[in-house]
Structure formats: C-alpha cells, structure tokens
Amino acid sequence: MTINRNKATSGHTTNGLGPGRQLKKRLSQGEVLIGPLLEEYAKPSLIKLFQHAGFDFVFIEYEHTYFSLSDLSTTILSARDNGLPVIAKTPQIERMEVSKLLEAGVSGIQLPRTETVEQIETLISYMKFPPSGTRAIAPGWGNSDYRMVDDWQSWMDEQDEETTVVLHFETIKAYDNAEELVSVPGVDMVYCGPGDTSVEFGRPGDFNHPDVIKPMENVLNLCKKYKIPFGTTPLDAISAGKWAQKGATFFEAESEVGLIRSASNALIKDYRNHISTFV
C-alpha cells in the first residue's frame, strides 16, 4: 500500500492515459487515493484548490443535491485538465442520465443502492460500447476533451477502458448478496456508504459500531479476494487509517461544504479565544 505524493498535476492525460485509466492503474498498484466531495458548489477554481491540496480524484454527489449538468460541465472539464478523474453518482439507472455524465467527461459512475446483478449489468451496458454494451457514440464533447475523433473504433476501445464502474453498498440486501455483486465481471471499484449502512443496521450515525463495521469488513475481504479496490467515507482521519490498514485503497472524504464549515468554525473559535485575552 502506497500513498502517492508526486502525481501529475496538469494535463488531461498522465503517461498517455486518460483520467479513468490512470485512476484504475494507480489503484491496481496499491496506492491509497483520497477524493473530496462536491455537493453544493461547482467551480473550476475549486478544482484548482483541490489540486493544490493534493487530492487524487473528485467525487460528485449527484443523487441528493441540486446540481444540473450545466452546473457541472466546466468543473468536470477543469478536473480532467488538472489530472483529477471524476466519479459521480447517477441519480438512477437510466440511459440518458448515465450518457450525459459520460459525455460531460466523468470517468466513473457510482450506482447508489446497488442490490442486484441485473442493476450492475444494466449500468455496464450503458457505459460500454458494442459489443460489450449499448452505449451510443458521441465524441467531440467532454468525453474527448472537445477533440474530434478520427478513428472511432480506437476511441471506443479507449473509452471502454476509461469508464469505471463503481458499486455502492448501503442496504441489507446488498450486503446479503455481497459476493454475487462484487464478482460481476466489469466491476472496477466498490464503495460502502457508512451513513445508510448505519441506518439499515439500526445504528444511525454510529459509523464505528460493530454492527456497521462487520458487514463493511466482509465486503472489503471479498474485494481483496476478487482484487477489486474498496473504499468508503471514514468518520475521520484516524478511522481512515484503520480502514487503510485493513486494505481500503480509496476514500470519498470531506465535502466542500464540510470543509468550509469546519474551517469557519475553527477560525472563529481561534479568533474569539485570542481576542478575549485583550478585551
């Protein structure tokens, strides 16, 4: 397990690989990758701040929040240009939703409430070109960094390698079917959401309760068996360290809203403490 400190910081490709292939390559090499969440604000300037901070990818919360793709398009392109692959939830398994995210330049699609093999196979079909899937070709947009494509077949082959299928475990049904789901051919990453997992197992908000940790650990062990990268959202950095020690290799960490909230609270507390000594 390694933590990369010298990753590429500019350009839409690294070592000739697009963002999705670079993401999968780094995970296959055992690097531990950390990504911030976008859940309220989408700006290219925010991407630059994340890149300067040293994040490895960007995760877009596109299930619960109010983004439209017009809000996100320039931010996704900025992330690609700054060496940060984008993973986004799809709000539902629907061809148009998946296609628009891919054409905007998203590398990975994360499927909320993954529960059945049929769901996964449907998502893969929407993400891959024939004969592997049913994705319709539409080069020349964010998916190709607005470059026109001359050799369609080569580009389709590259895109099939670029697109990254991310399962999202958060229900009892998913955990009951864990091995069947993790072992589906074409799965690239598996994420366990501790929030809804804690609710499902009767421990709302208690991410570190054994009833929550145990099913997640079972999925992690299955991921190691099938050589699939496992990730989660840890309660804090200490928890992240424990998960990394067990074998987790990616973390969807804090959101921009959470970062603003925590930094604002810390700043005000610090100011008030120092000012009070002179007033």
CATH number of 262's domain: 3.20.20.60
pTM over cut 0.75: yes
Tell me what the mean pLDDT of segment 15-40 comes to. Answer: 93
Asked if residue 34 lies in contact with residue 56, where contact means CB atoms within 8 angstroms, the answer is: yes
Residue 59, domain member (yes or no): yes
Q: Is 213 part of any domain? A: yes
Residues 111-140 pLDDT 10s: 999 999 999 999 999 999 999 999 999 999
Average pLDDT value for the chain: 92
pLDDT tens by residue, 196-237: 999 999 999 999 999 999 999 999 999 999 999 999 999 999
Asked, as a colleague might, if the bond just before 131 is cis with ω within 30 of 0, I would say: yes
Instruction: Answer for the pair 119, 177: CB distance below 8 angstroms, yes or no.
Output: no
Residue 2 domain flag? no
Residue 13 covered by a domain: no
Of the chain, the percentage scoring pLDDT greater than 90 comes to: 87
Please report whether residue 8 resides in a domain.
no
Residues facing residue 192 across a β-bridge: 169, 232
Please give the tally of structural domains in the chain: 1
Give me the domain span that covers residue 232: 19-276
Could you tell me if residue 1 is inside a domain? no
Residue 14 lies in a domain: no
Which SS3 state, helix, strand or coil, does residue 247 take?
coil
- Give domain status of residue 218, yes or no: yes
**Dihedral sign computed on CA atoms, order 147, 58, 211, 30:** positive
Predicted local confidence at residue 91, as pLDDT: 85
